[in-house]
Amino acid sequence: MTEHLPTMNRRAVLSTVALALAAAHAGRGLAAQAWPSRTVRIIVPFAPGGGADSSARVLAEVLATPLGQSVIVENRPGAGSAIGVMAAAQSRDGHTLLMGSNSMVINPVLNPSISYDVARDFDPVGMVSAQPLVLVVPASSKIASFADLVAEAKAQPGTLTAGNSGNGTLAHLTAELFAIQTQTTITSVPYKGESALVPDLIGGLVSCGFLNLPSVIAHIRSGRLRALAVSSPAPVAALPGVPTLRSLGQPSLEVQGWAALLAPKGTIPQEGLARLETLLTQALATDTVKTRFASLSVEPVASGREATAQYLKAEGARWQQVIKARGIKADS
């Protein structure tokens, strides 16, 4: 069309088109950089006070300034975290995030009626933290080491009991994984949370348990519980002398309670996700976050979006194998 215009007019038209395209491109860039344009909400699928909730509140405080918007935490507990996770998956406001944990990849395997799919419904932002489990026995127990526990379980199949914080929880599945890897039989005893389990463990009513570090560290230090091993990749500074399960020849029992930040699929522009990934990585490297996380007995873990997606996939596959091998079903 432009070849029929006078030379000056043609140049003017082409110049105008070029400017318009440049302006549109710049506008898209500004729009992407403008995310978030209002308050950001982090859904925590647990009650207030737990590790995921506390970690989310630390991040909400630290991320607010660089994001230029308020960041609030909304607790949506229930159904082993499934209620909160599904609420996040269904949110389309473009300003909702999820503080996910191990349960979000376990629940769909444990309960086929759960409708969300982690890979289909979420865009990972990055890992946030990790927390080891501690294998403990009562101080009164004759079991003094991991080797003793395995030997006792083999000598008296089914006699030893492993307390856990509920059917299908990470503690439960880790004990089942222990039985698989050591070729032993151990009886699972579910409780309604670790607060109900710990007194019976101290009293010797259950033989052992894989528990979260904050729940038992005071009892280990006071001598009421004995720590046999930790499930983290490296020894835990707060428990000097306690070996890792890997160092005891059980690398497959390296289990961590993790937290990860995710967004409902397709609700945040890629530029916004990239910016959030960078800010999360920077926040986890600060002394403020390291100190605050240390007080919660968790370690900051920085991991990019792609690595986080691969990790969540691997975790789901890992626990699917355990659940199927042991015939574990969701509570009715």
pLDDT digits (tens, 9 = 90+) for 47-94: 998 888 999 999 999 999 999 999 999 999 999 899 999 999 999 999
pTM of the model: 0.86
What's the confidence (pLDDT) of residue 34?
82
Backbone φ and ψ for 154, nearest 5 degrees, come out as -75, -35
pLDDT above 60: residue 17: no
pLDDT tier, 331 (very low <50, low <70, confident <90, very high otherwise):
confident
pLDDT of amino acid 182: 96
- The pLDDT assigned to 51 comes to 83
Residue with tokens 């259950």: 206
- DSSP label of 80: G
**Contact 235/244 with Cβ under 8 angstroms?**
yes
Structural domains in the chain, CATH included, are 40-131+257-326 (3.40.190.150), 132-253 (3.40.190.10)
Q: Distance between CA 263 and CA 225 in Å, rounded?
A: 40
118 DSSP 8-state letter: H
Q: Is 242 helix (H, G, I), strand (E, B) or coil?
A: coil
User: pLDDT tens digits, residue range 131-172?
Assistant: 999 999 999 999 999 999 999 999 999 999 999 999 999 999
- Alpha-carbon distance of 84 to 80, in angstroms, equals 9
Asked whether the predicted pLDDT for residue 33 surpasses 70, the reply is no
